[in-house]
Amino acid sequence: MKHLKNRNIAILITAIAAFISMQVCVRRSTDRITNEIEALFYDGIYVQQDKYTLPSINSQLERIVATALNTATLLQSRSEFEESTELLLQERRNLLTAEGIDKKSLALADINQAFHALVAAAFASTDLTAREIDAITQYLQTFEGAYTYINTTLAPAYNSIVDDFHSERSILAELVYRRSPDHFPISIC
């Protein structure tokens, strides 16, 4: 008890308490902002000047997942597409189970390659009916529309917000807290 009355020890305890309190506050604040930014991936980005919320990247990924399933379902009964169909279904599962924004981006690149390989094989086939060709054409347009929208509009808007967060983040936050929102890398294919 006698030591607590010592002025130097009291200053030291106060400094330690202030430092710990500051760390807790910075972590909570940074965590809250990180969660808000990452929610934009799932909820969409509000564009103030247009008073409009862009569709979320996740909603476009859901369109891609559905289109991949439709394409695989259409072609899976044909033995010539068995391997390509299985690969597309596997990449679809990988996208569905990808945890984290950066992992979803990698899975998107993989499903894009598998989808286009299957579609190319289907268009190269001479055994498809006109109805199947029309369906595959529609699926290709839907897939490409969602994929292009992600890469040309949604991902750049989301990544801009992440970049703003990183540029405005204080040195103290950088030292105290390492968690920050992930970018959604743009795929060029």
In the numeric block, the tokens 């950088």 are attached to: 174
pLDDT means over runs of 10, the chain (189 residues): 68 70 65 84 88 93 98 93 96 96 94 97 92 96 97 92 78 58 72
One-letter identity of residue 123 = F
Which pLDDT value is given to residue 12? 72
| pLDDT at res. 74 | 95
pLDDT of residue 7: 75
The domain locations on the chain are 1-189
pLDDT number for residue 168:
72
Three-class SS of the chain: CHHHHCHHHHHHHHHHHHHHHHHHHHHHHHHHHHHHHHHHHHHCCEECCCCEECCCHHHHHHHHHHHHHHHHHHHCCCHHHHHHHHHHHHHHHHHHHCCCHHHHHHHHHHHHHHHHHHHHHHHHCCCCCHHHHHHHHHHHHHHHHHHHHHHHHHHHHHHHHHHHHHHHCCHHHHHHCCCCCCCCCCCCC
Cα angle: 33, vertex 60, 142; to 5 degrees: 165
Q: What is the pLDDT of residue 23?
A: 63
The pTM for the full model equals: 0.82
